[in-house]
Amino acid sequence: MYRLAKPLLFRLPPETAHEAITGLLRVAQRTRLERAYAGHYTVDDERLSVEAFDQSFPNPVGVAAGFDKNAEIPRALAALGFGHVEVGAVTAEGQPGNPRPRMFRLREDEGLVNRMGFNNAGADVVGERLAEQRLPDVPVGVNVGKSKSTPLEDAPDDYRYTYEQVAEDGDYFVVNVSSPNTPGLRELQNREQLAAILEALQDAGAAPLLVKLSPDLHRDAVVDAVELANDLGLDGVVATNTTTDRPDALRSPNAAEKGGLSGRPIRERATDQVRFVAERTDLPVVGVGGVFTAADAYEKIRAGASVVQLYTGLVYRGPSIAREINEGLLELLDRDGFASVEDAVGADL
């Protein structure tokens, strides 16, 4: 069905198409229709299960932050066979984000460029929504960002406020200091400012707590960030966010648009970042960037990722992507003689 619908959706502006899809998923969740399709998309096999940062994942394939910014459809997404759903990024203040158009398809490259700017309803609304709905039986993470209007020196209090509004119903929390679309945000990745944010959240009781890194960080800065995560006793590292760099091989004219690039063009770079981080910590790593197939997910798992996340792959491959990846992972595990996904984590390190 998605093969038939995709050409029609791709005639719409990307953000309009996304709103149409999320609108359908909202209806499915509201009417409990997700229970009808869950059996079709879910692969139930204990070999896929993963234990990481105090959470039990039925499979390693999750939805990355950005798809469900306002926690409207976590149950509908989980019913598509995903092993976890990360909502947000959520900010203390509701904000409209950057002017449209702010999302662009790179069709020839199977990528997206976005400069959304943390558009979301705000921590009060998202926190209330999480509290009022029945959440899925898979981990639901909350990605926490900085409000655009908040000065960098006040960032710790801003992040803490957001956490406190969603604390009761999130299963884990990700500090997002790596989006390229909020002015100055990436400056918070330096050790001193990042430590202040993380310590403020830990003082508020945030756990499990992870930090999401940029693929554009210099290697020395990545080492600093990982050392800080180790020193503070964080629960994991997410690698990576979108990149402002543009590989020379890109063919789409939309590659010239400003914003963060995701999808196929950053697969290798993201996997290299996963490997670089995993070699320097025993903390679980969440691998994000260019996951379209079982081979893509397996590559990141063998590079050290305990679980993986995707967004752009869902746009290009459609609602069966989690099922296809999980079925393919079982074949790859059998081929290589691994008893489970957990046995394959870091096999190439």
Enumerate the active-site residues. 179
- Is 298 labeled as ligand-binding? no
CB-CB contact of 83 with 89 (8 Å): no
- Is 70 labeled as ligand-binding? no
- Is 83 labeled as ligand-binding? no
How far apart (Å, rounded) are the C-alpha atoms in residues 277 and 240? 10
- Is 176 labeled as ligand-binding? yes
- Is 212 labeled as ligand-binding? yes
CB-CB contact of 309 with 284 (8 Å): no
- Is 182 labeled as ligand-binding? no
For 239, the enclosing helix (H) or strand (E) is strand 236-239
- Is 67 labeled as ligand-binding? yes
CA angle 306/158/93 to nearest 5° reads 100
- Is 300 labeled as ligand-binding? no
- Is 37 labeled as ligand-binding? no
- Is 258 labeled as ligand-binding? no
CB-CB contact of 212 with 143 (8 Å): yes
Helices (H), 167-293: 191-203, 219-232, 267-278
- Is 255 labeled as ligand-binding? no
- Is 117 labeled as ligand-binding? yes
Q: Which long-range contacts (CB under 8 A, 24 or more apart) does 188-193 make?
A: 188/146, 188/152, 188/155, 189/213, 189/214, 189/217, 189/221, 189/225, 190/221, 190/224, 191/224, 191/225, 191/228, 193/152, 193/155
**Both structure tokens of 72:** 């409207």
Binding residues: 65-69, 89, 114-118, 143, 176, 181, 212, 240-242, 263, 290, 311-312
Annotated binding site for FMN: 65-69, 89, 143, 176, 212, 240, 263, 290, 311-312
Binding residues for substrate: 69, 114-118, 176, 181, 241-242
